[in-house]
């Protein structure tokens, strides 16, 4: 088979690899599509070299079809699937408390162990999620990032009739806006890129350019001076982290979604003064994956519009280059496809 591997130095190399036969309790998937996400970009930029074992087959936003199964697995070959790429120990305090998705020894598959940028991928059956036939395999590759957004919104306790501010209009910010609107909330999205603002506006969000415009004034106007019920910080900058608490109402919720690898300033006085709740939101649980599949199946997600383009496995490096230059929203790799 063929596989794409991160080899360090900002480079992805595509070459031959040996597939792994499924053992008992395992499934081998013929991978169809794999989306490139922000974490993958961090890997290729070298920010996670201390964590990934090179050469590393990365990738975790995927779809495919069951090719074969090991003993004790009930999934039938030919079933459309995706993977919830989390393997937990079951023994640490987080797991014992029922929070297996943030296991203290979590194996994030596609980062800490081999991922989906290979034509045949063998994984435990326990992390495989079936996909209905009415959902295309291209759309199914969006389940994982959509599940992130579902988890973020569920964690926020956002309810119908409430107002949410989303700071950052990248793929996850856009998906949070979509899920929030599907929940029945009004969404105000702040994003400096005009194309991303236009996309969010087409999906029904109120959009603000935080550089040329005044996000605080828009929130004040739209909420009659109260502030937003929920603020999602998805941009991941020092400035947006500091600004996030400014837009929440009294006893509102501020959800930090973006990864901040270094400590950043937060307005603790504002948190005290308005009795704000500050929440972290990381990855997802099984119910978030199932809700994401349902949203795609019912057509609540603008999947075609989110996918900027599809490239062949041999052109994986091209996809990374495009995303690093912010020239795309979501690029899928056709793992079985060949370059034109």
pLDDT tens-digit readout, 184-202: 999 999 999 999 999 999 9
Q: What percent of the chain has pLDDT over 90?
A: 96
Q: In angstroms, rounded to a whole number, what is the distance separating the alpha carbons of residues 36 and 170?
A: 13
Contact 182, 295 (CB under 8 A): yes
pLDDT tens-digit readout, 41-71: 999 999 999 999 999 999 999 999 999 999 9
DSSP annotation of 56 reads: B
70, 193, 251, 338 from 326: Cα distances, Å: 41, 10, 35, 25
Does the predicted model carry a pTM greater than 0.85? yes
Catalytic pick from 42, 79, 260, 308?
A: 42
Residue 248 bridge partners (DSSP): 228
- At 226 the pLDDT is 98
Cis peptide, bond prior to residue 55, ω within 30 of zero: yes
pLDDT tens-digit readout, 5-31: 999 999 999 999 999 999 999 999 999
What are the start-end ranges of the H helices in the chain? Answer: 38-44, 93-96, 137-140, 143-156, 171-183, 194-202, 215-222, 238-244, 268-273, 286-297, 303-306, 316-324
Q: Residue 340 — pLDDT band, cuts 50, 70, 90?
A: low
Q: In angstroms, rounded to a whole number, what is the distance separating the alpha carbons of residues 37 and 320?
A: 9
- 39 is an active site residue: yes
């Amino acid at each position: 088979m063929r596989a794409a591997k991160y080899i360090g130095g900002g480079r992805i190399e595509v070459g031959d690899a040996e597939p792994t036969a499924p053992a008992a309790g395992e499934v081998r998937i013929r991978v169809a599509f794999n989306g490139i996400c922000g974490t993958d970009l961090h890997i290729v930029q070298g920010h996670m070299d201390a964590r990934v074992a090179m050469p590393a087959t990365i990738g975790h936003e995927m779809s495919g079809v069951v090719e074969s199964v090991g003993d004790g697995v009930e999934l039938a070959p030919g079933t459309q699937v995706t993977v919830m790429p989390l393997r937990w120990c079951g023994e640490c305090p987080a797991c014992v408390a029922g929070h297996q998705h943030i296991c203290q020894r979590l194996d994030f598959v596609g980062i800490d162990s081999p991922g989906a940028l290979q034509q045949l991928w063998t994984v435990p059956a326990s992390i495989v999620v079936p996909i209905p036939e009415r959902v295309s395999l291209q759309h199914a590759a969006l389940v994982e990032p959509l599940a992130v957004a579902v988890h973020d919104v569920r964690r926020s306790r956002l309810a119908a009739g409430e107002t949410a501010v989303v700071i950052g209009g990248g793929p996850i910010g856009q998906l949070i806006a979509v899920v929030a609107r599907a929940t029945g909330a009004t969404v105000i999205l702040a994003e400096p890129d005009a194309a991303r603002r236009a996309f969010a506006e087409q999906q029904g969000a109120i959009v603000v350019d935080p550089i040329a415009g005044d996000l605080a004034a828009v929130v004040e106007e739209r909420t009659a001076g109260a502030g937003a019920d929920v603020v999602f910080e998805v941009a991941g900058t020092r400035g947006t982290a500091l600004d996030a608490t400014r837009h929440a109402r009294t006893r509102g919720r501020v959800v930090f979604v973006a990864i901040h690898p270094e400590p950043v300033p937060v307005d603790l006085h504002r948190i005290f003064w308005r009795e704000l709740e500050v929440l972290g939101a990381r990855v997802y649980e099984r119910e978030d994956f199932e809700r994401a599949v349902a949203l795609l199946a019912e057509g609540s997600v603008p999947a075609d519009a989110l996918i900027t383009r599809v490239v062949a496995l041999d052109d994986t490096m091209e996809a990374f280059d495009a995303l690093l230059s912010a020239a795309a929203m979501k690029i899928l790799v056709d793992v079985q496809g060949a370059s034109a």
